[in-house]
Structure 1
């Protein structure tokens, strides 16, 4: 397709030469017949003069003669352009596979699709247009809203990690709770969401959970949160709306992220994080404070050398 035809189909503006586009590529692999994208000025620098790039309006002054698709969301519209060009995205199951195991008491809404090897337990409710990929396990009494995506090997509603130490033994506490997942939630491959000990574990509408995430029993996740790969959320934690928990971050039990709070990758949360605050480090502290400490730590060897010189001079006197 011509660049102008892609722009017209997506209701976007374009600039430069009206090039023929046959494919999309990452910025690291540009080509004259490919459409790539740049989110920041520094991404444009290594691109050749014949690159065709999807950019936000603020980068127009830095095109340096390159052709461009002008879009407020370059990555999203790059994907939409790929669909126009006939590129095939990751495929969902087409219908309900006969190789799945679905309990007769489960209630599946309209246009629900289930991949081979998926297991859907007793009294599970799944809303319209939701997709359960191959090998996912949805345990009994789980409720999943409409337009949700559960990727392969996710486990929803398994027993939580609850024990009491009595007479030298760890005794299991039965978990009678459930899991409630609101509309338009996506749960990544290999992620586990435990059922509540008594009440439900809840995931709010629009939340995105990456692969290999652990959500403990009775966790309450708000709307439009992001929880990224290998993060761990211990029992009874709360993530308010729009909170972000980055990769390999962990929350201790009963801690809370306020609305819009952000936790940097690899951080540990032992105390509540106020709304809107960004924290990092182990244990996590306000991000700017953590950066100041890291900077000071890097300067420590040089500081010690200078201090020893001063000490030696005074001792010599």
Structure 2
């Protein structure tokens, strides 16, 4: 629970004229009560928020509104402010290792780590402080996790990569898959996602990156800092996604491809092997992925039968 003036301090904004309500939770307007905070990023959303009984309404400063309303706290980014308040109000989990989890004697588990039921932590694994490992997670030998890493249920980290050498008779022999997997600080990995270890080098996931459910990342892939990857995306071996890039759902990347800093791939986009996509803020769409304007032109020509 927090008073309104405390929330204003969290958000580093003035609280003059705002009633000092006691706030216990965040909520949508339709389920809000006097103990809840809601947010508004548009005039229409503000109308809905003020129609609720919420004790506090976070509203973007750019929205024209009655400044004398004692329930409104004006902030630069109401959505971000709402997330900050939600994080501060969220009850903190007790750090514990479930008795059904299997943790190798040679694993290093830092202070404040939680490990869920049925999880398996292999030999030589290092897990940084305040990390959370969900139920039925498998972390293979030698994987390194930084601090405050969040791993949801069913994730597999450090499995061997999918790489083979072909014999003259057409059969396949496994290429060595003995490299490392390093996951840096503040990474979040969604349920049932998989990240392979490197073949001879390492697979690395940069700090602050957020990975959705059902994502597969192949061997020797390098993800930069603060990358966003939506569900059902697959990234082939030795590809690179640089800092701040955003990959929509069901994106597919061939091997040795590069997505540059700040590039945005729309849902279902396909990046060919060895392809390089650059341009911060540039949106690419389609299969194969191309700039959005070109994709829309191609779509229009196709619809006209040209």
Q: Shorter-chain-normalised TM-score: which range?
A: 0.7 to 0.9
- Secondary structure of the residue that 1:70 maps to in structure 2? strand
Question: Contact between 1:208 and 1:226, CA under 8 Å: does it hold in 2?
Answer: yes
**Alpha-carbon distance between aligned partners in 1 of 2:156 and 2:201, rounded to the nearest angstrom:** 18
Matches within 5 A, 1:1-317: 4-5=4-5, 7-10=7-10, 11-13=12-14, 18=19, 23-27=25-29, 34-44=36-46, 49=51, 53-59=57-63, 61-62=64-65, 67-82=71-86, 92=93, 94-166=95-167, 167-270=169-272, 271-276=275-280, 277-298=282-303, 300=304
1:172–1:289 CA distance, 2 compared to 1 (3 A)? same
**Alpha-carbon distance between aligned partners in 1 of 2:235 and 2:76, rounded to the nearest angstrom:** 33
**Alpha-carbon distance between aligned partners in 2 of 1:124 and 1:33, rounded to the nearest angstrom:** 43
1:186–1:81 CA distance, 2 compared to 1 (3 A)? closer
* Consecutive unaligned residues in structure 1, runs of 5 or more: 305-317
Question: Contact between 1:14 and 1:68, CA under 8 Å: does it hold in 2?
Answer: no
CA-atom RMSD in angstroms: 3.0
1:45–1:248 CA distance, 2 compared to 1 (3 A)? farther
1:172–1:158 CA distance, 2 compared to 1 (3 A)? same
Q: Deviations over 1:268-303 (max 9, x none)?
A: 1112101413211111101122233334545x28xx
Task: Give the equivalent residue in structure 2 for 1:312.
Answer: none
**Alpha-carbon distance between aligned partners in 1 of 2:93 and 2:292, rounded to the nearest angstrom:** 39
Shift of 1:266: 1.2
**Alpha-carbon distance between aligned partners in 2 of 1:129 and 1:32, rounded to the nearest angstrom:** 33
- Secondary structure of the residue that 1:229 maps to in structure 2? coil
* Consecutive unaligned residues in structure 2, runs of 5 or more: none
TM-score in terms of structure 1 length: 0.81
**Alpha-carbon distance between aligned partners in 2 of 1:65 and 1:289, rounded to the nearest angstrom:** 48
Q: Deviations over 1:106-128 (max 9, x none)?
A: 11222222222111101111222
Question: Contact between 1:49 and 1:64, CA under 8 Å: does it hold in 2?
Answer: no
